[in-house]
């Protein structure tokens, strides 16, 4: 199966700064792939190179197997949703959505039908005659989505589409974008710095750091097996310790268990924070290598241990992740 988009050794330099560093990436067709990483890791730069807004310093970009490295954006037939939405302020919602079809010389009647069909897909048919300024942020976001989808693009590119929405709407739109992706069967690349968003939405997630891809795979594979300490920290693994043979280990706070006695690691309770449904217990633990490390345990149920008391910490083997040295 050919990849919908393929990056081969793609590098982008701005002066002496390397924003994207020899990235190899194959985006599976008909799936939702997220580019996930902290601010400044090169996600937008990567997406803009795929869209054709900037040419890579070196490397090759293939779209549907065809070398498109130097193809201008207007010849790529990709749908892009910008973080600012970039709706044309002087056009109505319908004209925004129909703009790409007009450029493709789709006859007026068919154009209208396709605009309405697309607006219905995003649930905005009743606002077709409005100007963008008179829409809420969430509605503007849907218009931007509709405009990108209306041209039936080969790829749908979304740059942090949810980051300008309030928290509740953001969570709602995750499902919404998944539904639209499923209905249109489009290949989607979504940029985000929110790991929850990526975990929930992705078929495939690509984690970037400092211009490089550090791990790629389905959320079900990536989440329990972070490839290195950076990914582990990014995904919320807060506890790092060392095995007797020196191998770095990590475990999530919710997987630590507190026990009365051995087997386990001896620990002293440093602090207890009550958080409603659970307790966050800070512990000074003597790890298998003999070093004392500060670990966090996310405990549900049971009574809160007293600060200063001695406890035993159990690290279940199936949740303990070995990291490269």
Using CB under 8 A, list all residues that contact another protein.
Answer: 51-53, 72-74, 76-80, 82, 84, 86-90, 99-100, 103-104, 147-148, 151
Burial 206-220, CB ≥16 within 10 A → b, else e: bbbbebbbbbbeebe
Q: How far is the CB of 11 from ligand ATP (least distance, A)?
A: 12
Q: How far is the CB of 268 from another protein (least distance, A)?
A: 54
- Evaluated on CA atoms 67, 73, 75, 78, the torsion sign reads positive
When CB distances are held under 5 to 8 angstroms depending on the partner's kind, the choice from ligand ATP, Mg ion, another protein, none that residue 193 binds is: ligand ATP
The values of phi and psi at residue 267, to 5°, are -150, 160
Nearer CB in complex with another protein: 73/288: 73
Q: Which H or E element spans position 159?
A: strand 156-159
Residue 269 · residue 299 · CB < 8 Å: no
Q: List the one residue out of 136, 140, 158 whose CA is nearest residue 93.
A: 140
When CB distances are held under 5 to 8 angstroms depending on the partner's kind, the choice from another protein, Mg ion, ligand ATP, none that residue 199 binds is: none
Q: How far is the CB of 261 from Mg ion (least distance, A)?
A: 50
Residue 71 · residue 46 · CB < 8 Å: no
For residue 146, count CB atoms less than 10 angstroms from its CB and return exposed for 0-12, middle for 13-18, buried for 19 or more.
buried
When CB distances are held under 5 to 8 angstroms depending on the partner's kind, the choice from Mg ion, ligand ATP, another protein, none that residue 59 binds is: none
Nearer CB in complex with another protein: 90/126: 90
Burial 149-159, CB ≥16 within 10 A → b, else e: bbbebbbbbbb
The values of phi and psi at residue 170, to 5°, are -60, -45
Residue 141 · residue 85 · CB < 8 Å: yes
When CB distances are held under 5 to 8 angstroms depending on the partner's kind, the choice from ligand ATP, Mg ion, another protein, none that residue 114 binds is: none
When CB distances are held under 5 to 8 angstroms depending on the partner's kind, the choice from ligand ATP, Mg ion, another protein, none that residue 77 binds is: another protein
Q: Is 192 in the site for Mg ion (CB under 5 A)?
A: no
Q: Is 34 in the site for Mg ion (CB under 5 A)?
A: no
Q: Is 44 in the site for Mg ion (CB under 5 A)?
A: yes
Contact segment (CB under 5 A) with Mg ion among 5-13, 43-51, 166-174, 275-283 equals 43-51
Contact segment (CB under 5 A) with Mg ion among 41-49, 103-111, 166-174, 294-302 equals 41-49
Radius of gyration (Cα) for the chain, nearest Å?
A: 24
Q: How far is the CB of 50 from another protein (least distance, A)?
A: 11
When CB distances are held under 5 to 8 angstroms depending on the partner's kind, the choice from Mg ion, another protein, ligand ATP, none that residue 39 binds is: ligand ATP
| Interacting residues with ligand ATP (CB under 6 A) | 14, 17, 19, 37, 39-45, 193
Q: Is 45 in the site for Mg ion (CB under 5 A)?
A: no
The values of phi and psi at residue 200, to 5°, are -75, -35
């Amino acid at each position: 199966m050919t990849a919908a988009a393929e990056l081969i050794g793609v590098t982008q330099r701005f002066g002496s700064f390397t924003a994207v560093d020899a990235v190899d990436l194959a985006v599976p067709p008909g799936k939702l792939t997220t580019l996930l990483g902290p601010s400044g890791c090169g996600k937008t730069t990567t997406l803009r190179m795929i869209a054709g807004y900037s040419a890579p310093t070196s490397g090759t970009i293939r779209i549907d197997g065809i070398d498109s490295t130097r193809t201008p954006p207007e010849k790529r037939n990709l749908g892009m949703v910008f973080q600012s939405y970039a709706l044309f302020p002087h056009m109505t919602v319908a004209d925004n959505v129909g703009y790409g079809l007009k450029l493709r010389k789709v006859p007026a009647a068919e154009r209208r039908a396709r605009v309405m069909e697309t607006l219905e897909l995003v649930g905005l048919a009743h606002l077709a005659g409005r100007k963008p300024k008179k829409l809420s942020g969430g509605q503007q976001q849907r218009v931007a989505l509709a405009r990108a989808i209306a041209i039936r693009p080969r790829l749908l590119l979304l740059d942090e589409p949810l980051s300008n929405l309030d928290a509740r709407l953001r969570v709602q739109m995750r499902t919404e974008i998944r539904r639209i992706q499923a209905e249109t069967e489009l290949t989607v690349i979504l940029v985000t710095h929110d790991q929850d968003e990526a975990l929930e939405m992705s078929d495939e997630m690509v984690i970037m750091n400092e211009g490089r891809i550090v791990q790629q795979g389905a959320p079900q594979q990536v989440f329990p097996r972070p490839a290195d300490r950076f990914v582990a920290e990014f995904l919320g693994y807060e506890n790092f310790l060392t095995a007797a043979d020196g191998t770095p280990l990590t475990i999530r706070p919710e997987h630590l268990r507190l026990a009365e006695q051995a087997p386990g690691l001896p620990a002293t309770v440093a602090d207890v924070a009550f958080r409603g449904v659970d307790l966050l217990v800070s512990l000074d633990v003597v790890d298998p290598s003999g070093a004392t490390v500060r670990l966090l345990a996310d405990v549900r149920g049971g009574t809160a241990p007293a600060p200063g008391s001695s406890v035993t910490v159990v690290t279940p083997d199936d949740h303990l992740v070995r990291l490269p040295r």
